[in-house]
Structure 1
């Protein structure tokens, strides 16, 4: 029963990650591409996504994210490539959400006012910029879990409503059916490819989902993901085909416009818009985190401990490099015993490490949610051999010698984000010098100033990204469908279809056969072709989908 529950949770998590706003734009592309061509191309995109993601899973080590994998494969250039792709794709998603919210709220107000009040899109976007202002101060993505759940519920509810009214429309008009285009044109083909790729916007979440999967079903993750993706692909094609078959040339993009009952339509738009409003900060969070990591490396909020005459500086919210180099435990070295509390602290590893070695033992509480999994090292376990820097500079490297550290990425390296322990009210012996809290007034003042400066800069950066998305939303709101296609082709396709087979080839080129090499090259070429065609057709169809506001009451 426990295993079945784990399977269901995993399947639902995958479905929530991949069934988003993209699906409500898919029927509109079938109207241009034709129902046969649309199903064929959308199915091809689904197959490419499955193959690429299976290669991606084979490449990654335990608890490795997409950026870590890019850095391991191509070094700093790979890290920059993946980070920039994620950064701009999330900005694109956020912009699309802002446009959709503005359109929906405009139509709601226009209809409720008996077609008397038409608020401009610019004003509605500006209101959203004010609404998002408090969210820029959120530093924990967990605080956005409820709005994300609400957004997921709203998406599935709206999809259910659209399916219901599509079916009702077919039953009411079984004979006098609208004209259905079976074979479309090349413009429609490009739109289908880009929108289908956008529909798989959850590709960046595959590795985090895998990393959080319970160990007893981890070996079946690829199979579960494959069957779930097949289901999502079939459902997407069924949904798009049903809506297009029901409404024909009147199929809208997004298809929320095709809800027949006026009150139901307005309620659906209102509920969906509110939920998506709270989902925008979640979409922006990765972009904000990436930009902070690159721009604010030198402004670090720190927690300091006094070590004799020196200071140990633990740096918050940075990266750590864990190596599997071993160091013999020496009880004559610096050591301590006592209760240890934990805090989210990560260590940066860009410069060399020297100086102090701590051998940690005792009743240690060590929680590591990102590298080793939840509570995989718990009370009464030992962690030994931590190399840190005591000269007041950044902590540079950590070496863990522990039988619990099984997250191997290559022959010698472990890479990831960790939660490091902080000493709290412990009797610690370090070369016979007691380690106490460093409570110098000037240090506290400097820490406060640095913390305030860092928080202010983070807020300014986050809000500048919000304003950037709002600006793009204003200029691109008239061409929402084409914009979705361009974002899908330019940003989603490389992440989902191009990079994974390239990663796999780079890591396994000496072991794989010629046939596998050719197949990987084929995937890269097809993915690149899909990207180019999608972007090209999105540009060529620009300014051909004029939007008219309708009064539904």
Structure 2
């Protein structure tokens, strides 16, 4: 159930979380003991609970009610519980890897499989961010189109109104936010997104409960089978895997804790938080499923009637998601910046070699010209000043004296060499600027790509959710954690952990293959809305 303001943290925290120990050291006040833990430690555990809860609650729960209707209320509960257990086990294994490696997800991948493992993980993170982003874009477009159609009383000319315009106008929000230098500067956006998410979920629950009560009073209670046809099971497995994606954010928070005692305590905090998430998800899913029954649409927000409260819920959910997307894909900028810095460093090394060659040429030219300026003095006196703020500075002598015009006129070759040095200095400045600009350009291109992908897939939202769940969520949160754990601890773990690792790996591979196969074979562009289902039972 990862996502929204959670998924942005989920991927971001895989690369950047402040150390709790450093935060505690900055607090000048004496720590008051509360039992065996200080007040600061208890506060951090509370923040950890909220972090895990937010990471697992988001747009994922909006798509689970339809899966319950298609799969059956007993079978769907078993599927949701099974993948919940797999994700919890994978997270606990990653915590054990953190204790051994003392690093984040990326460090674990590097320790287990070297550069290949790290590259594989980064590819998974980027692919997951892009795929989730396309879901967000599609969800927002469908929601806004539904609102517009409702305002115009489901007039035919306003059905699926302005798909391209609504989709690509979202770039006006995404691009400025991803250009922020630090994610901390987006704190107000995170706050707005979180408040909108909480309000939207509350309104959806209230409206679904009202519909359920109304149906019960009128005697039109929705019936859902306990177990549906087995052919529909793969259509819900990917969605079930999509629900519990919170391992990266949990892992990063766990890695930020320096004390083993606090880490053990946080493990129990995590188990409590993820259990609360499971109970809340089941409650939300079954309340909405029994409220709308067979009329349940791909995203439950599309079932909400055109009343002020329901419309407010749709708008708030759209607002939450549109602000969450830039935050969710922001960790991609960290990866881009790292590779950009690596390439820039290689270029600077090449420039240094060129500078050495220019020094040698300068010495040869000065010796041939018979200049009165000694080669030794120039070799030790000239220093290139690499300054982006003052590009007019060419070079300075060791004693702070510039070459006189007379000396320069006597050595035109030296002037040429100095000009070459200045060009190299300016080139270095440009390289440093490119190091900052390059990730931003890639982020803008990524936003355009994600938005375009969302536009082309906006009629296949339910298929997209299931496919991404099997294609990206399962490898990132089940398969890779078990694989890394098995490699790191292969020489010292018992048969029980080996069985768990193998079970997770086999389950991950089977799930991915099954879901991808089913999603492709049953791909559909049918995207019903409340307007197209007016008159259906359970939709007002």
TM-score (norm 2): 0.72
| Contact map agreement 2:131 2:468 (CA 8 A) in 1 | yes
1:369-380 equivalences under 5 Å are none
Q: Give the structure with higher Rg (CA).
A: 2
CA distance in 2, matches of 1:300, 1:256: 49
1:430-445 equivalences under 5 Å are 445=426
Displacement after TM superposition at 1:129 (Å): 2.2
1:477 matches 2:458: yes
CA distance in 2, matches of 1:520, 1:20: 28
Greater helix fraction, Structure 1 or Structure 2: 2
CA distance in 2, matches of 1:303, 1:472: 37
Please name the residue that 1:422 is paired with.
Answer: none
Is 214-223 or 243-252 further displaced after alignment? 214-223
1:27 matches 2:8: no
CA distance in 2, matches of 1:541, 1:151: 34
Q: 2:302 aligns with which of 257, 277, 299?
A: 257
Please name the residue that 1:158 is paired with.
Answer: 200
Deviations 1:243-279 (A, max 9, x none): 1112110112211123346211221222221222121
Q: 1:499 aligns with which of 480, 486, 502?
A: 480
Deviations 1:446-482 (A, max 9, x none): 4442234334433321111111111211111111111
Greater strand fraction, Structure 1 or Structure 2: 1
Please name the residue that 1:59 is paired with.
Answer: 97
| Contact map agreement 2:138 2:458 (CA 8 A) in 1 | yes
Q: Secondary structure at the match of 2:149?
A: helix
User: Unaligned regions of 5+ residues in structure 2, if any?
Assistant: 1-33, 350-354, 357-383, 385-397, 400-420, 535-539
| Contact map agreement 1:6 1:214 (CA 8 A) in 2 | no
1:198 matches 2:242: yes
Q: Secondary structure at the match of 2:103?
A: coil
Displacement after TM superposition at 1:499 (Å): 1.4
Please name the residue that 1:299 is paired with.
Answer: 344
| Contact map agreement 1:489 1:534 (CA 8 A) in 2 | yes
Deviations 1:167-189 (A, max 9, x none): 22222222321231221233432
Displacement after TM superposition at 1:549 (Å): 6.3
| Contact map agreement 2:302 2:529 (CA 8 A) in 1 | no
Deviations 1:291-333 (A, max 9, x none): 34335522259999xxxxx99xxxxxxxxxxxxxxxxxxxxxx
TM-score (norm 1): 0.71
CA distance in 1, matches of 2:191, 2:246: 15
Q: 2:169 aligns with which of 127, 131, 134?
A: 127
1:236-385 equivalences under 5 Å are 236-260=281-305, 262-294=307-339, 297-300=342-345
Displacement after TM superposition at 1:519 (Å): 2.9
Displacement after TM superposition at 1:57 (Å): 0.5
User: Unaligned regions of 5+ residues in structure 1, if any?
Assistant: 305-309, 312-391, 393-432, 435-439
Please name the residue that 2:122 is paired with.
Answer: 83
Q: Secondary structure at the match of 1:509?
A: coil
- The answer to which structure, 1 or 2, has the higher relative contact order (CA under 8 A, 6+ apart) is 2
Q: Secondary structure at the match of 1:478?
A: coil
Is 87-96 or 507-516 further displaced after alignment? 507-516
* Misfit runs of 4+, over 6 Å: 301-304, 440-444
CA distance in 1, matches of 2:459, 2:221: 30
CA distance in 2, matches of 1:500, 1:543: 32
Please name the residue that 1:227 is paired with.
Answer: 272
Please name the residue that 1:378 is paired with.
Answer: none
Q: 1:140 aligns with which of 167, 182, 185?
A: 182
Q: 1:104 aligns with which of 138, 143, 152?
A: 143
Displacement after TM superposition at 1:92 (Å): 0.7
